[in-house]
Chains A and B, each alone.
Chain A
Amino acid sequence: MFAISVMNGLVIGVIYALAALGVSLVVGIMNVVNFAHGELYILAGYFSYLFASALGLNFLVAMLLALALVFLLGIVIEYTLIRPTYGNDMYSLILTFILSIVLQNAYLLIFGPYPNKPPLWVKGATDVFGLFSYGNQRLAALIAGAGVIAVTFFLIKKTWFGRIIRATSQDREMAELNGVDTTRLNMLSFGLGCALAAAAGVILTPVFPVTPTAGVPVALTAFVVVVLGGMGSMWGCVVGGLLLGLVENLGAAFISTGYKNVFGFIILILVLLVRPSGLFGRTKI
């Protein structure tokens, strides 16, 4: 029971970390919280379901296609909705919240309230250290999630593009003075943030099917992870995501399943009380 809860916690924790990275990237650069993050996560799930199950494409092709489409949608959202609100953070909060409700209701209209599920990548189960046998799909999700996180870290920490991103999130004006086109960077990083939500979506939906509102708890947890890890901190997302995944699953196993999502809220309150800037946050505010 304990071992399997830890395993479940790791799998979902990696997905939380992935979703939180997307939120954190956008917050770090644009100071915008995208409240439609969970709906984009779900959209990627719907896309991969459509392409793989309805059109019969290979699951990998379907996933990449879903990722690319959500990335493009992210760019369109930034261009049409977010860009006019620069300098007024309140409007971006309101706009993305309205967008999330619009998307939820559009999904309900198009796909109905029933859960939809893209096909599994792999079948069967593996014996984990002789402790329990664990579904291969979940193991694959764990590996894929960790892989995408590694790629994101590489992109941000090691490449030229990543250097621009880090420079802009540290000091926007200084980056502009050095020739960074921050408007285009905003657009790209917003798209990238959405793509990270989509990555979490395509990886997790074969395990947890999509419904029109299934994105809400995931996005909410991602927000809690971002606050817990410290706004804009990448390591904070990873540590916070894993921590929250473990706490939720152990809490669900040993305290109460119905209150699974409440533990995250308790953590949020504790963080705000004890260390409001988060685990890895800069304590400048």
Chain B
Amino acid sequence: MTGKQLLWVGGLILAGMCLLPLGLDIYPQHVLIVSLFYVMMASSWNLLAGYTGQVSFGHAAMAGIGAYASGILAVKAGLNPWIGVGIGTVLAALLGLGLGALCLKMGGIYLSLTTLAFSQILHIIIVNQYDLTRGTMGLQVPGLVAEYSKLAYYYILLAAAVLVLFVLYRMLHSNLGLNFRAVQNDELAAKSIGVKVLQVRVLAFTVASAMAGFAGGLYGHYLLLITPEIPSLDLQFYVLAMTVIGGMGSFTGPIIGAFALNILAEKIRDYGEYHVLVFGLIALSAARFAPNGLLGVWRKLRRSTAHRTVN
């Protein structure tokens, strides 16, 4: 697709997304809002796993940092939630910078181990610091808008998701994006032509963490109740499964994955709490048999039918 076509398609989808919730009930609107949160999470996680080849298990924890930082500031200090979300984003970025600088020089496995430990520790701290976080009871926080309406939140999260995707798109289609790819494909070769591998990795991790913090902050103020469910391994798993099933390393894959899985989760929930197990099995077979996800399968099918018509 050329740039102009892309702009048209993007514009049309965006217009559709703007009109989409108008005819819907409150519940489907809620599902869409949550999907938008997952779009931000999965796309930013994809920046790590799909484009720079580092697997972080602390992405949900970063969302938790954003949510709790903003929530606690709003409750304890009466800070405006919008400023709180900004502070949460910066905090998540700083933590990402610290963790990234600490373990990325040792290679990918260390990042995975450290982020997994980090997310568990954060969970323990949140549960134990009852005075500050209300533990598993959850912290009640004020909303982003004076008058609560699903529609307002939908547009806020849509705007946020578009912002995140725009930043990601510009990053990936710049010189920096080439550096990301180079680092993922062959670290040694990238190093030999002067790519600063460590800096590139840490930068990607910092940016992705900031985006998770931003998404988490907004999500917390939408739910109005922040619980340790946000920085949990389950949520981390959702984000991972959405990216893997949608298509890791492609721009649209995680977006499709986020919507598909979140809507599917609602359908499965009618039959009981099986959705995590079902996603797990789907994700397992996707990672094993179709490493490029749904998008990869679709491209392959299209290629083979195109091939057949030529013949």
Contacts and interface: CB of A to CB of B under 8 A. Distances in A.
Interface of A: 27, 31, 33, 35, 80-81, 84, 89-91, 93-95, 97-99, 101-102, 105-106, 109, 216-217, 220, 223-224, 227, 231, 256, 258-259, 261-262, 264-265, 268-269, 272-273, 276-277, 285
A31 B174 CA distance: 33
Given A33-B113, A98-B283, A258-B124, 7 more contacts: A93-B55, A95-B287, A101-B276, A109-B274, A217-B120, A277-B106, A285-B106
6 contacts: A90-B49, A102-B281, A216-B120, A262-B121, A262-B125, A265-B120
B146 interface: no
Nearest to A260: B124
Q: Is the interface of A mostly helix, strand, loop or mixed?
A: helix
Nearest to B128: A258
A223 B113 contact: yes
Q: Is the interface of B mostly helix, strand, loop or mixed?
A: helix
User: Which size bracket describes the interface of B in this complex?
Assistant: 35 or more
Contacts of B82: none
A265 B240 contact: no
Interface of B: 49, 53-55, 57, 102-103, 105-110, 112-114, 116-118, 120-121, 124-125, 127-128, 233-234, 237, 240-241, 244, 274, 276-277, 280-281, 283-284, 287-288, 291
Contact of A265 (B49, B112, B117): B117
Nearest to B248: A94
A269 B115 CA distance: 11
Given A93-B55, A261-B121, A272-B114, A102 B106 contact: no
B287 A98 contact: yes
Nearest to A95: B287
Contacts of A261: 120-121, 124
A16 B112 CA distance: 20
B116 A223 contact: yes
A94 B55 contact: yes
Contacts of B54: 90
B284 A265 contact: no
